[in-house]
Amino acid sequence: MSLFNVYPLFDITPVKAKDVYVYDDKGIEYLDLYGGHAVISIGHSHPKYVEAISNQVANLGFYSNSIQNPLQVALSEKLAQLSCCIEYDLFMCNSGAEANENALKLASFHTNKKKIIAFKNSFHGRTSAAVVATDDAKIIAPLNAQQEVEILPLGDLVALENALQKNDVCAVIIECIQGVGGLDESTTEFYVGIDTLCKKYGACFIADEVQSGYGRTGNFFAYQKYNVTPDIISIAKGMGNGFPVGGILIHHSIKASFGLLGTTFGGNHLACAAALTVLNVIEEEKLIENAKNMSQYFIEKAQEIPQVKRIKGRGLMLGLEFDFPIAELRKKLINNHKIFTGNAKNQYVIRILPPLTIQKKHIDSFMNALKSEL
């Protein structure tokens, strides 16, 4: 059997990683400014994370959601404390797509409606409803296309109100900063407008924080820059620092009932041990503050490079826009300087998604490499 060939691969085989560095099978060290696609929050193989997962698996790695699991309770309490989302409950699952799938399904249950509104250049995952809310026709199969979705221009409140007025919308889903699309963010007025219009027309406001959450933007959640109250917040990537875990935060106005949502693996003991350690380390090592400080330093340094036409995003969810496609530059950064960066749907943007533990010296190395290639 060979592997189903869906990923174009770099010819690099990582076998080890530590904090912001990844090591391949030849012992070559790579600086990781990609964080395995915004996943690594507290740094690769953080000792407390390794210890917590090792201890947990030695005791109890998994049991189903039919028993008491105090780790889930501890996680929800810690998450409420660090995110300040005290008016929400937690439902756990295993990935970002699954988080959005549950968010959309719950919105439909809650409103008894079925149309979704999403925005141009959005990415919400590859499952049934999440994939149709994703603005990429190539990844929507005929089976998925039956879901009702309207993709609106980012920032267009008039179009949004026109769509909501038809009273058939269960959810408006948005990434406050677009990840895969290329780091676009709209105005305060737009996000506040979504919040107001959703409440006016009885649709759920879903903030997709799968990529932008967990401190990456310098706030715990990116939407917290604005004075808005989403009905559902979806989380994944940084939550487990590589352990596959996701979830949704559900506002108290949405009521639970037995059987409404469910999962075999979601919220298992091992996932909770990983996710709880991530939150503890974020707090102990003041990683949100570090994200803010390092972001400022990164932006100052990037502004000194004339070929950088625009700096997009916030915190450590940044994009550097050039006036040429970046594919070659990105390859050179990997091959010549051993630095991982990310790409985006916008082919002019390099994405920077490092672990939140990054320091100035790592940023300096990147800037020197970038300058020498430019």
Identify which of residues 201 and 244 has a Cβ nearer to ligand PLP in the complex: 244
Identify which of residues 183 and 363 has a Cβ nearer to ligand PLP in the complex: 183
- Which of 94-102, 107-115, 157-165, 185-193 is the region at the interface with ligand PLP (rule: CB under 6 A)? 94-102
Nearest 5 degrees, angle CA 237-CA 346-CA 330? 75
Q: How far is the CB of 212 from ligand PLP (least distance, A)?
A: 7
Among 106, 152, 207, 210, indicate the residue that binds ligand PLP (CB under 6 A): 210
* Whole-number Å distance between alpha carbons of 88 and 227: 16
Per-residue DSSP letter, 350: E
Identify which of residues 94 and 201 has a Cβ nearer to ligand PLP in the complex: 94
Among 52, 152, 203, 236, indicate the residue that binds ligand PLP (CB under 6 A): 236
Q: Which residues partner with 24 through β-bridges?
A: 14
- List the interface residues with ligand PLP, window 168-207 (CB under 6 A): 175, 179-180
Number of residues that make up the chain: 374
Residue 170 CA, distance from chain mean position: 22
Radius of gyration of the chain (CA): 20
Per-residue DSSP letter, 182: T
Identify which of residues 212 and 357 has a Cβ nearer to ligand PLP in the complex: 212
Quick note: the x/- pattern for ligand PLP over 240-279, rule CB under 6 A, is ----------------------------------------
- Which of 89-97, 141-149, 249-257, 357-365 is the region at the interface with ligand PLP (rule: CB under 6 A)? 89-97
Size of the site for ligand PLP (CB under 6 A): 14
Q: What is the dihedral of CA 128, 207, 318, 271, to 10 degrees?
A: -70
Q: How far is the CB of 140 from ligand PLP (least distance, A)?
A: 14
Quick note: the x/- pattern for ligand PLP over 99-138, rule CB under 6 A, is -x----------------------xxx-------------
Identify which of residues 34 and 201 has a Cβ nearer to ligand PLP in the complex: 34
Query: What is the side-by-side strand order in the sheet with 204-208?
Result: 88-93, 246-251, 232-235, 204-208, 169-174, 115-119, 149-152
Identify which of residues 100 and 217 has a Cβ nearer to ligand PLP in the complex: 100
Identify which of residues 164 and 176 has a Cβ nearer to ligand PLP in the complex: 176
Q: Which two tokens stand for residue 315?
A: 């915190």
- Which of 96-104, 152-160, 250-258, 331-339 is the region at the interface with ligand PLP (rule: CB under 6 A)? 96-104
- List the interface residues with ligand PLP, window 24-83 (CB under 6 A): none
Identify which of residues 96 and 242 has a Cβ nearer to ligand PLP in the complex: 96
The residue with tokens 């699309």 is 181
Nearest 5 degrees, angle CA 199-CA 202-CA 204? 80
Q: How far is the CB of 248 from ligand PLP (least distance, A)?
A: 12
CB 76 within 8 A of CB 224: no
Among 41, 56, 76, 95, indicate the residue that binds ligand PLP (CB under 6 A): 95
Q: Which two tokens stand for residue 78?
A: 């810690």
* Whole-number Å distance between alpha carbons of 262 and 135: 27
* Whole-number Å distance between alpha carbons of 334 and 92: 35
Identify which of residues 35 and 43 has a Cβ nearer to ligand PLP in the complex: 35
Residue 309 CA, distance from chain mean position: 25
Identify which of residues 237 and 301 has a Cβ nearer to ligand PLP in the complex: 237
Q: Which two tokens stand for residue 238?
A: 């940084």
Among 17, 79, 97, 294, indicate the residue that binds ligand PLP (CB under 6 A): 97
Among 96, 238, 315, 342, indicate the residue that binds ligand PLP (CB under 6 A): 96
- Ramachandran region, residue 71 (left: φ > 0; alpha: ψ -120 to 50; beta: rest): alpha
In one-letter notation, the amino acid at residue 49 is Y
Torsion sign, CA atoms 325, 326, 329, 335:
negative
Reported as half-sphere exposure (CB side, CA atoms, 13 A), residue 279 has a value of: 21
Which residues are at the interface with ligand PLP (CB under 6 A)? 95-97, 100, 123-125, 175, 179-180, 208, 210-211, 236
